[in-house]
Amino acid sequence: VMNVITIEDYKSTYWPKLDSAIDQLLTQSPGDYIPISYEQIYSCVYKCVCQQHSEQMYSDLIKKITNHLERVSKELQASPPDVYIERFNVALGQYMGALQSIVPLFIYMNKFYIETKLNRDLKDDLIKLFTEHVAEKHIYNLMPLLLEAQSTPFQITPSTMANIVKGLYTLRPEWVQMAPALFSKFIPNILPPAVESELQEYAAQDQKLQRELIQNGFTRGDQSRKRAGEELTYNGSSACASSRGYR
């Protein structure tokens, strides 16, 4: 027979264990070894669910992760343009990596509370938190920097660009409308097949969006960081560099 877990027991013993484990998972770097007992945490969640603490545990989990994401968002806001894209990529990758451990640990809560009582799914809820507390707040700063980076060779790695664009599409597919040509380079079949006569139009659309975003107060990256001679190359080839990607 399982011992009775009072709300005081939950708050003083069970949640602190979960809180500590979640902290480590949210802040680990890829490949880190996390010194926590997954079996112990899994068992802890199971006992709390059986003792009717699911609602409290779900509330605590959402609050915990929301507070973490608000800190992440503030750190991104303080990032200079030249490292902004890379830091967004790290934040996105780190969070999605953490969910691969957090969601399975709370599988009992998901099955017996979130799915049955709330008619939702824990992973969907946690991805939505990142969308609301990080991505939505940064999309209008991020997009002009991505458009600039795709037309400036070697500014960021192709893998970073691919990770972010695919990630944004996963979070909110309608963001494709902000830069269809950019998304189409990484997401199959989101545009109708392009004909040669439309390539310049796609490039022009990207440039128009950049201008509109800049006019609305979203600044481009610091051009002063370009190496000597690169400015000429950039100005002379940005449209061509853009259009080459859409064949």
How far apart, in whole angstroms, are the C-alpha atoms of residue 80 and residue 138?
13
Would you place residue 87 in the very low, low, confident or very high pLDDT band (cuts 50, 70, 90)? very high
Which two structure tokens, joined as six digits, stand for 30?
Answer: 């890829």
Model confidence at 240, pLDDT cuts 50, 70, 90, reads: very low
Domains of the chain by start residue, with CATH: 7-186 (1.20.1310.10)
What average pLDDT does the chain have?
83
Pair 115, 121: CB distance under 8 Å: yes
User: Which pair of tokens denotes residue 59?
Assistant: 């509330």
**pLDDT attached to residue 245:** 38
Of 168, 152, 158, give the one whose Cα is nearest residue 231.
152
The pLDDT of residue 189:
80
**pLDDT tens digit sequence for 121-178:** 999 999 999 999 999 999 999 999 999 988 877 788 989 999 999 999 999 999 999 9
pTM above 0.85, yes or no: no
102 Cβ contact list (under 8 Å, min separation 6) = 22, 25, 26, 126
Annotate 90-136 with DSSP letters as a single string: HHHHHHHHHHHHHHHHTHHHIIIIIHHHSS--HHHHHHHHHIIIIIH
Residues 78-101 have a mean pLDDT of: 94
Task: Give the tokens for residue 166.
Answer: 């695919």
